[in-house]
């Protein structure tokens, strides 16, 4: 009897202990470590390169530009110009016409960029029919110049001068006057190719002559 009671009491204690034992739960996983911002190394800013100042441009350097990237060309105030050309002309006298070939040499001076004065010497050979004739023209001139673009300039003005004619054993002197207009294309700063139209009136051996001419040549300024 006593043994059974002990067994019963032991069983009761065992069951009660099992009923009151707490339920074991698994621990939550540890929280991930907070991401730490990477340390940024202090960096110095790159050095700033200072642009070199532009070189000062002289008043009239060969590299100076004028508008479209071209250099400055042509003669200006205070400069001189020399020229040489071949002239092809047609002289109309008393209804007749003769074709002539001339050589021209000239020199001028620019009072301003626009106003040019100078003189030209032309030697003209008059081909037959008729006697072989030679004429010498010495003509002071004035030109007004206009710069179309850095390389091209046009000009025009009057001329007035002296003419001498020699035909066979005869000679005659005369006054000549007329107008001219042309253009110069500057190949280099001081070198130009030019073309010029010219009208001249003169009187030789009692007959009035109207001469129309085209000159093609080169000019140099300095």
- Res. 96 pLDDT band, cuts 50 70 90: confident
State the pLDDT at residue 61.
43
**What was the pLDDT predicted at 67?**
37
Terminal-to-terminal C-alpha distance of the chain:
151
Distance CA(106)–CA(121), nearest Å, equals 6
**Secondary structure class of 78 (helix, strand, coil):** coil
Residue identified by tokens 């071949």 is: 86
Phi, psi (deg, nearest 5) at residue 119? -145, 155
Mean pLDDT along residues 5-12: 48
**pTM (2 decimals)?**
0.66
**DSSP-derived secondary structure letter, 191:** E
What is the predicted pLDDT for the residue at 198?
97
User: What confidence tens digit (pLDDT) does each residue in 168-215 have?
Assistant: 888 999 999 999 999 999 999 999 999 999 999 999 888 899 999 999
- Give the chain's domains with CATH numbers: 84-221 (2.40.160.20)
Instruction: Give the mean pLDDT of the chain.
Output: 79
The per-residue pLDDT for range 150-168, each reduced to its tens digit, is: 999 999 999 999 999 998 8
Question: Residue 115 and residue 132: Cα distance in Å, rounded?
Answer: 38
Q: Contact, 157 vs 163, CB < 8 A?
A: no
Alpha-carbon distances of 83 from 87, 196, 208, 215, rounded to whole Å: 12, 12, 29, 11
Q: How many CB atoms lie within 10 A of CB 76?
A: 15
Q: Which residues pair with residue 82 across a beta bridge? A: 107, 220
Residue 221 has pLDDT above 60, yes or no: yes
- What's the CA angle centered on 176, arms 115 and 96, to 5 degrees? 130
pLDDT higher at 176 or 9: 176
In the chain, what percentage of residues exceed pLDDT 90? 52
């Amino acid at each position: 009897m006593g043994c059974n009671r002990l067994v019963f009491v032991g069983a009761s204690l065992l069951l009660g202990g099992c009923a009151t034992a707490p339920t074991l739960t698994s621990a939550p996983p540890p929280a991930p470590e907070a991401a730490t911002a990477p340390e940024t190394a202090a960096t110095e800013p790159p050095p700033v390169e200072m642009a070199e100042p532009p070189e000062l441009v002289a008043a009239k350097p060969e590299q100076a530009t004028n508008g479209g990237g071209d250099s400055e060309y042509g003669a200006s105030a205070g400069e001189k110009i020399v020229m040489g050309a071949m002239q092809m002309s047609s002289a109309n006298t008393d209804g007749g016409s003769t074709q002539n070939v001339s050589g021209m040499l000239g020199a001028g001076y620019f009072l301003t960029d626009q106003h040019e004065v100078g003189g030209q010497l032309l030697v003209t050979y008059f081909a037959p029919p008729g006697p072989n004739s030679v004429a010498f023209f010495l003509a002071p001139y004035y030109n007004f110049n206009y710069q179309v673009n850095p390389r091209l300039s046009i000009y025009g003005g009057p001329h007035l001068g002296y003419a001498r004619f020699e035909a066979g054993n005869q000679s005659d002197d005369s006054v000549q006057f007329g107008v001219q207009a042309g253009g110069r294309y500057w190949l280099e700063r001081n070198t130009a190719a030019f073309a010029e139209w010219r009208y001249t009136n003169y009187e030789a051996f009692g007959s009035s002559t109207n001469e129309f001419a085209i000159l093609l040549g080169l000019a140099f300024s300095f």
